[in-house]
Amino acid sequence: MSNDEEIIFWGAGTARTFRPIWMAEELGLSYKLNPIGPRTGETQTKEFTSLNRKQKIPLMQIGDFYLSESLAICKYLQRAFPSKGLFIPTSDVELAKEDEWCCFILSEIDETSLYVMRRHYDLKEIYGESKTVTNACRDYLKRQFEVIEEYLEDKNFIMKEGFGICDIFLISCLDWAIFYEFELTKNMTQYRDDIINRPAYKKAMDINYSR
- The partner residues of 61 in beta bridges, in order of sequence, read 8, 66
What pLDDT was estimated at residue 11?
A: 98
What pLDDT was estimated at residue 15?
A: 96
For 154-185, what is each residue's pLDDT tens digit?
Answer: 999 999 999 999 999 999 999 999 999 999 99
Question: What is the pTM for the complete model shown?
Answer: 0.94
127 contact partners, CB below 8 Å, separation of at least 6: 119, 120
179 contact partners, CB below 8 Å, separation of at least 6: none
What pLDDT was estimated at residue 2?
A: 53
- The partner residues of 195 in beta bridges, in order of sequence, read none
Separation between Cα atoms, residue 24 and residue 156, nearest integer Å: 22
What pLDDT was estimated at residue 130?
A: 80
Pairing outcome for strands 65-68 and 59-62: antiparallel
Structural domains of the chain sorted by starting position, each given as residue range(s) with its CATH number in brackets: 7-86+202-208 (3.40.30.10), 92-198 (1.20.1050.10)
40 contact partners, CB below 8 Å, separation of at least 6: none
Separation between Cα atoms, residue 205 and residue 178, nearest integer Å: 15
What pLDDT was estimated at residue 84?
A: 92
Cα dist from 144 to 8, 104, 140, 184, whole Å: 34, 9, 7, 12
What averages of pLDDT result for each successive group of 10 residues across the chain (211 residues)? 81 97 98 94 96 97 97 98 95 98 97 87 76 89 97 97 98 96 96 98 97 73
